[in-house]
Amino acid sequence: MTPDPFSHQQDRRSFLKAVGASGAAFAALACASSGATSGSAPATAAAGSASRVPSGFADRIGVQLYSVRDRLEKDFVGTLEGVAKIGFKEVEFAGYYNHSPEEVRSLLDRLGLRSPSSHVMLDAISKDLPGTVKSAKTIGHEYVTVPALIQPLMGKVAPDFWTTTAAEFNRVGKALKAEGLGFAYHNHSFEFEKLPDGRTGYDVLLAETDPAVVQFELDLLWATVAGQDPVAMFQKHPGRYVMWHVKDVKGVDAARAIATSTEGSTMQRLQKIGGSLAAVGTGDIDFRRIFAAASTAGMRHFFVENDSAPQTPSSLADIETSYRNLRKLLA
């Protein structure tokens, strides 16, 4: 059996346990300005309602499997069968639950699913690049995506953290490109906090990484509650947002107030928002306006996600609601 990189490295799931986050708390880790939501500037919101969504997206809806982690832990095969039955065409992994890459690929092929991306912590990639590459190629990933950065999440950031991280992203991205793979980073809200020089950590990553080897998976919700406008981000850095997390929230203005406040730790602020996450289409985000800008973003894949779905009566039913609502919007 080929070793699973997640079985011996710190992956997204084991990281949660390490920081003591509950499922609801890590709503903050799963995976934008006022203009992209119902609580946004009136003119922008009105324009969003009339935006035209490009055709073809309705048949490409993917899901970040962290949303159904409670079921995957108990029945990996059955859960993926359920995901395929809903109609999803693509899945993004956050761990393989002790299944070999060969087993995962065989299951995906049987179910007619593709997996363009997998979430792998940066230290795991750096420590075992050959293993990461082998697993990604076997399963058929196009991208290896870093889901979170531990230091800023825990409030422990050295002055040069973002610059050194950008340099490591460039190094890893170049190595993965040489193997025919892409590299991406998935955001939360803490990347948009101001640094002493007036920039944000996300500004540094965008400015100091090479677009040829480093791309971004924009979590539309976390960018939104951080006070960002995804469409404006696409316009400023066209082509760099190759993947999206499509996630919704009830009470976006309240969530934004929490995310942009200075009260409590980063983790505490994210925990407060976690309970408000919702199935796509049942919250406040104006996804029509955002999808209308997909070509500017350079978006190739998108995944619905609700980190708090396991706290609902059925996480599988929750992602089915997201699927059906998003399909209607994109049809």
Tell me the pLDDT tens digit for each residue of 126-161.
Answer: 999 999 999 999 999 999 999 999 999 888 788 899
Q: What is the pLDDT of residue 274?
A: 87
Assigned CATH topology for domain 5-330 = TIM Barrel (3.20.20)
Token code pair at residue 155: 């409030």
For range 213-218, the mean pLDDT:
98
Greatest alpha-carbon pair distance for the chain in Å reads: 57
Q: What is the pLDDT of residue 251?
A: 95
Q: What is the pLDDT of residue 53?
A: 79
Sorting pLDDT into bands at 50, 70 and 90, what band is 303? very high
Beta bridge partners of 249: 277
User: Which among 287, 282, 284, 279 has a CA at the least distance from the CA of 309?
Assistant: 279
Q: Could you give the dihedral angle defined by the CA atoms of residues 279, 283, 288 and 289, in that order, rounded to the nearest 10 degrees?
A: -130
For range 201-222, the mean pLDDT:
98
Residue 111 C-beta-side C-alpha neighbours within 13 Å: 25
Integer Cα distance of 302 and 147 in angstroms: 15
By DSSP bridging, strand 143-146 and strand 182-186 are parallel
- Domain positions in the chain are 5-330
For range 253-257, the mean pLDDT:
93
The pTM (predicted TM-score) of the whole model is: 0.86
Rounded to the nearest integer, the mean pLDDT of the chain is 87
Which of 29-38, 80-89, 124-133, 230-239 is predicted with the least confidence, judged by mean pLDDT? 29-38
Please say whether the beta carbons of 64 and 12 come within 8 A. Answer: no
By DSSP bridging, strand 243-246 and strand 143-146 are unpaired
Q: What is the pLDDT of residue 262?
A: 84
Q: Would you say residue 252 has pLDDT above 90?
A: yes
Place of tokens 């609580």: 39
Instruction: Give the residue, 298 or 26, on which the prediction is more confident.
Output: 298
Sorting pLDDT into bands at 50, 70 and 90, what band is 271? confident
Backbone angles phi, psi at 77, to 5 degrees: -65, -50
Integer Cα distance of 11 and 4 in angstroms: 11
Q: What percent of the chain shows pLDDT beyond 70? A: 85
Sorting pLDDT into bands at 50, 70 and 90, what band is 51? low
Q: What is the pLDDT of residue 282?
A: 97
For range 316-326, the mean pLDDT:
98
Sorting pLDDT into bands at 50, 70 and 90, what band is 52? confident
Q: What is the pLDDT of residue 268?
A: 86
Instruction: Give the residue, 85 or 262, on which the prediction is more confident.
Output: 85
For range 26-52, the mean pLDDT:
39
User: Which among 318, 313, 311, 303 has a CA at the least distance from the CA of 31?
Assistant: 303
Q: Could you give the dihedral angle defined by the CA atoms of residues 254, 257, 263 and 266, in that order, rounded to the nearest 10 degrees?
A: 90
Q: What is the pLDDT of residue 200?
A: 96
Q: Would you say residue 57 has pLDDT above 50?
A: yes
